[in-house]
Amino acid sequence: MPGKLHIGVLASGGGTNLESIIDNCKCGKIAGEVAVVISDVQCGALERARKAGIPEHWLNRHDKVRFPNREALDTAIRERLDQHDVQLVCLAGYLRIKTHELVDSYLGRMINIHPALLPSFGGEGMWGHHVHQAVLDYGCKVSGCTVHFVSLETDGGPIILQRPVPVEEGDTPETLAARILPHEHELYSEAIQLFAEGRLKIEGRRVRILPRAC
Ligand code: GRF
């Protein structure tokens, strides 16, 4: 992919994954730049984008006049992404369920990070501390993180990269989340760079990682 990859980030949370993507673009670990950050709520991620001088848009999902349904919101998001010539959409703690409107337009060009080893502990309701609580309740010895392509099924798209992280005796959802988060930051940037290099090939449920071009 010639030139810098134009990345659009959708986020609804604190934005540490966004920040690490911005940093890794700046230091050259990702051959790209964050062109726009969009959120459906006022959140830390928008604040971080402002501080970094990156265009940010708050599309208030509670504004039922502008966005009477999910499709209307996703259409507005797609329009903003298109305006900024986004080539890859990264969901970084974006909680809203996605519609055809958004997913179809960016099929194979939209990825997500999940703080567990999918397909376990994913899907509807599995976000934030709920994920880590479920991992602990099940008695898992290992958790981790997953980067995957986005499909209409929540957390169900083809897996790009995964990394295991140990669960330790006495862990709480907070300590486990804190241990996994730095790994998320590394793994997400690694996956974005593979995309930037054109090295991800989706074959059904599988994602092949192609060798680096000579
Ligand atoms: C991360 O744990 C990510 O895996 C999940 O939401 C969280 C977002 O954290 N999808 P942050 O807002 O990037 O700090």
Cβ–ligand 1 contact at 184 (below 6 Å): yes
Residue for token digits 């209409």?
152
Ligand 1 atom 8, closest CA: 93
Three-state SS at 110: strand
Three-state SS at 29: coil
Average pLDDT over residues 122-138: 96
Q: What is the pLDDT of residue 1?
A: 47
Ligand 1 nearest-atom number relative to CA 45: 12
Residue 74: how many other CB atoms lie within 10 Å: 22
Dihedral angle sign, alpha carbons of residues 150, 152, 158, 163:
positive
Q: pLDDT (tens digit, 9 = 90+) per residue, 10-64?
A: 999 999 999 999 999 999 999 999 999 999 999 999 999 999 999 999 999 999 9
Instruction: Check: CB of residue 188 under 8 Å from CB of residue 163.
Output: no
Average pLDDT over residues 1-11: 88
- Enzyme catalytic residues: 114
Q: What is the pLDDT of residue 2?
A: 59
pLDDT band at 95 (very low <50, low <70, confident <90, very high): confident
Ligand 1 nearest-atom number relative to CA 112: 10
Write down the pTM of the prediction: 0.96
b/e string for 45-62 if b means 16 or more Cβ within 10 A?
Answer: bbebbeebebebbebebe
Q: What is the pLDDT of residue 165?
A: 99
Ligand 1 atom 7, closest CA: 93
Opening angle at CA 87, ends 159 and 196, nearest 5: 60
